[in-house]
Amino acid sequence: MPISLEEEKIAEQLGPQKGNLFRLSRGYIRKAISDLYQLPALEIPLKALPGKPPLLDDGFGCISMSHCKDGLLIGWSSNKIGIDIERKDRAFNAQRLSRKYLAQQERSSISQLHLSEQKNSILKMWLIKEAAIKWQRGKISSDLRYWRCNDTKSKAYHILNKNIIHTSIIDYEKWYIAIATDSAKTNWKPILCIE
């Protein structure tokens, strides 16, 4: 997948593993958007610096990106969007994450579930909050504590700025995918391309 000379210079400075992920993600973003707009990949007006949300110029829609150890997810929409992907079998301390990052109401809701369902519910809530933060173009370190999810995980809201957004969890093969958008459209038909 082609990337710009500037992107290649950045990739070289990141080291082998991070550099390869940077090349792969930027190359796939360029490929997907070039297919969408029928433009050469290197003509896509992409700004995607490491550690920053990817941006497209006005008129090219909105983009979000996420990756896990064996997956790369690129989300595009004509509306503002945030996405996150994680393996269903991710190893993490669910109770610690719940105590540290979930609100009392969210923990109470999860505690009503069977023990075997609690870990998945916590993971899904985390995914929604990360997608919401990407929608907001915020930072996990400063914004996570302000986002809340409803019981059905169909909405998230920010307790300070009062944003309410629509969210969805897609259960796909070995991954969970979270989508956050301000669009009330409920019949999302995501296009998933797996290589």
Domains of the chain: which residue ranges?
A: 5-60, 83-181
The angle subtended at Cα 133 by Cα 131 and Cα 137, nearest 5°, is 115
Task: Given CATH 3.30.230.70, say whether it is the number of domain 83-181.
Answer: no
Token pair, residue 168, equals 């969805």
Dump pLDDT digits (tens) for 106-147.
Answer: 998 888 888 779 999 999 999 999 999 999 999 988 899 899
How high is the pLDDT of residue 193?
56
Dump pLDDT digits (tens) for 1-57.
Answer: 899 999 999 999 999 999 999 999 999 999 999 999 999 999 999 999 998 999 999
CA distance 5 to 124: 37
Helices 94-101 and 115-136 sit at what angle, rounded to 10 degrees?
Answer: 50
Strand partners for 83: 179
CA distance 195 to 192: 10
First to last CA, the chain: 13
Residue-wise burial string across 81-99, b where 16 or more C-beta atoms lie within 10 A, e elsewhere: bbbbbbeeeeeeebeeebe
Q: Which of these, 24, 53, 23, 57, lies nearest to 39 by C-alpha position? A: 57
Record the pTM. 0.89
